[in-house]
Amino acid sequence: MPSLQSYHTFGLTSSSQQLAVFSSPDECRRAYSRATRNWVLGGGSNTLFLDDYDGQVLINQITGITHHETSAGHRLRVGAGENWHELVTTCLQQGWHGMENLALIPGSVGASPIQNIGAYGVEVKSFIEQVEGVHLDTWQPFTLSREECQFGYRDSIFKHALAGKVLISYVTFLLPTPARAETSYGELARLNAPTPAAIYDEVIRVRRAKLPDPAELGNAGSFFKNPVISNAHFQTLKARYDAVPGFAVDESHTKVPAAWLIDRLGFKGKTHHGVRCHPTQPLVLTNLGHARGEDVTSLAKAIIVAVNETFNIQLEPEVRLVGREGLVHL
């Protein structure tokens, strides 16, 4: 049975019945037909195989970047199998600016619309013009506009109505000109000259200081979403915990950093068998090298229960957990 350990960044010891790599939708279709159960995987940075997968894992390696400059900005059609950080780096080097805040986010381009990835005040939905792919039941192609993708906070139609039903092949981005620098969030606010290169460098510096490198310490990035709660709920928390941070989402909702909630409850640095809540960023769970799937779910559930009981907030995993037959829900 092929090992999956090197195909997902958390690095649990797991395997699948079959493993195939494809570089086009047609190649995926041919491989897909050989198994009764399939799981399509990109960079594996947001997927955690808790157990051996009883089916075939298909690795998306559709690549290529096509660039057109228009009056509105730089339009890029990018293969879903391209590495996300390498795309951001290429854009910076070519003078196609705007996505610097999203540097060093692990994973593939095809995963970016699924998660609506974001960092430092910027979400990828701001740049996505359309998403192309095929339906896995009929193999008919589709193209969805930004609006049709139904983007939300770390959310999209690909996690709901189209979850597990489509293959994303290409994503088209539009980077407007002139680019607008977003430096209101965190450490970026301290930049004296917020050029695109300065933003890119600072984001990488901060991420490397706070987050473990998956190549050195297995992890899937942020394990939990930052919860969005009502303003009334936030004010109740603020009355009890004056230091609780919050960021306005809209007129009636506030986003609370999950890391603060987890840290407040004393989980930061705690180890459960082979899994540790990272000492510098408690939003990240790490594989110390000998973790098992049950260790991950046990620690994650303990955090979810404690946060709910103390703050009346239900944390949701950002990472996709996969068991023997598919998605696992905590």
- Rounded CA-CA distance 11/50 in Å is 10
- Strand partners of residue 131: 144, 171
Torsion of CA 283, 230, 264, 272, to 10 degrees: -40
The sign of the CA dihedral 205, 268, 261, 115 is: positive
Q: Which two tokens stand for residue 103?
A: 């540097």
Eight-state DSSP code of residue 326: S
Residue among 14, 222, 276, 320 flagged as catalytic: 222
- Catalytic residue, chosen from 82, 154, 169, 320, is 154
Per annotation, catalytic residue among 100, 123, 202, 318: 318
Task: Tell me which residue of 96, 157, 167 sits closest to 125, measured CA to CA.
Answer: 157
Under the phi-then-psi rule, with left for phi > 0, alpha for psi from -120 to 50, and beta for the rest, what region is 47? beta
Phi, psi of 293 (to 5 degrees): -60, -40
> Is the torsion defined by CA of 299, 312, 229, 266 positive or negative?
negative
Q: Which helix (H) or strand (E) holds 229?
A: strand 228-230
User: Is 100 considered catalytic here?
Assistant: no
Decide if 129 is catalytic. Answer: no
d(CA 192, CA 87) in angstroms, rounded, equals 26
C-beta of residue 102 within 8 angstroms of C-beta of residue 204: no
Does 154 qualify as catalytic in the annotation?
A: yes
Q: How far is CA 32 from the centre of its chain?
A: 25
Catalytically active residues, by annotation:
154, 222, 318
